[in-house]
Amino acid sequence: MAIGKVYLVGGGPGDPGLISLRGVECLKLADEVLYDGLVNPLLLRHANAHCERTCRTDGPDGRILKQDEINQRLVDSALAGKTVVRLKGGDPFIFGRGSEEAACLRKHGIEYEIVPGITAATASGEYAGFSLTHRESASMVTFVTGHEAT
């Protein structure tokens, strides 16, 4: 059996119209979709796959899944020959754990593709009508998270 492939897909900032065409293509190819709670569930309409929410907080939708568990699910599904989409809110590499997931897949020799998404960090300003950078008033933008690994 051939090893499957994993797509690390950014679902955008919440508006279902802002996912990339490539992201939609990947959802249509998927046998399995593991998605974050920040993903707009309307995006799952593009998939014919088994879709499972990866909870990061306890609640009515299930128990907390640790990042190691999510990584292992990605590996196990790909080793079973499945095409897997890891659908994340915003962009998988901005305040997400896409880089950790990619490192795990690389370590296990599993092919993956990164499909960037629009991060809420930039989309919020644009939706409000202002530019985060402007040559006359703001020459740079900095992203800072309130959460760090201990």
Tell me which DSSP letter residue 135 carries: T
pLDDT value, residue 55: 67
> The whole model's pTM is what?
0.88
pLDDT value, residue 106: 97
pLDDT value, residue 28: 96
pLDDT value, residue 60: 63
pLDDT value, residue 59: 61
Q: How many other β-carbons are positioned within 10 Å of the β-carbon of residue 125?
A: 14
pLDDT value, residue 150: 66
Q: Which stretches of the chain score pLDDT less than 70?
A: 55-63, 149-150
Across the chain, mean pLDDT equals: 89
Closest CA to 74 of 108, 40, 28: 108
What phi and psi values does residue 117 have, to the nearest 5 degrees?
-130, 165
Q: Which domains does the chain have, with CATH numbers?
A: 5-120 (3.40.1010.10)
Residue type at 138 in one-letter notation:
A
